[in-house]
Amino acid sequence: MADDVTITKGASSTPPDGTVIATDEVGSVHYQKIKIALGADGAVDSLVDSGQQVMADSMPVALASDQSTLPTEQQETAPTDASRNNPSYVFTYTAGDLTKITATIGGTSYEKTLTYSNGNLTGISVWSTV
């Protein structure tokens, strides 16, 4: 069942008479449905299809008060042999995303995996032996 509201202020009103506003009716009260969009003055770009934006064009987000620490950077030393020779690396891609890095040093292989959710990188493991 549609919960929409039709404006009936008169033919010369703004918006004009007969304009339908999308709402969700909860307990006999209508709450207007609104699409979130981004853009400069006089321009609009739907947030849903915009993808990731630069900071100036992004919408601020409030994290939950009990949110655990969000990792922003992971610093570690890649495995190397005692003489500091560079290992050989193998990069594995799945569906266009980098999913694994393997380094081989003196017959020992080390691996780092990358995980994704909805196309966004969500995790990078530490180096482990394979």
Instruction: For residues 95-116, give the mean pLDDT.
Output: 85
pTM: 0.37
* Residue 80 resides in a domain: no
Does 126 score more than 80 pLDDT? Answer: yes
The count of other CB atoms within 10 Å of the CB of residue 125 is 13
* Residue 92 resides in a domain: yes
Does 3 score more than 80 pLDDT? Answer: yes
Per-residue pLDDT band for 118 (boundaries 50, 70, 90) equals confident
69/32: higher pLDDT = 32
Rounded CA-CA distance 30/125 in Å is 48
Per-residue pLDDT band for 86 (boundaries 50, 70, 90) equals low
Q: What is the pLDDT of residue 93?
A: 85
Per the structure, how many domains does the chain have? 2
Do 8 and 19 form a contact (C-beta atoms < 8 A)?
A: no
Q: What range does the domain containing 110 cover?
A: 88-129
* Residue 42 resides in a domain: yes
Contacts 24+ apart (CB under 8 A), 72-76: 74/124, 74/126, 76/126, 76/127
* Residue 121 resides in a domain: yes
Rounded CA-CA distance 88/78 in Å is 11
* Residue 10 resides in a domain: yes
> Residue 63 in 3-state DSSP?
coil
Q: Each residue of 37-67: pLDDT tens digit? A: 767 787 777 666 666 667 776 767 777 888 7
* Residue 118 resides in a domain: yes
* Residue 77 resides in a domain: no
Instruction: For residues 109-114, give the mean pLDDT.
Output: 89
The count of other CB atoms within 10 Å of the CB of residue 54 is 6
* Residue 66 resides in a domain: no
Does 16 score more than 80 pLDDT? Answer: no
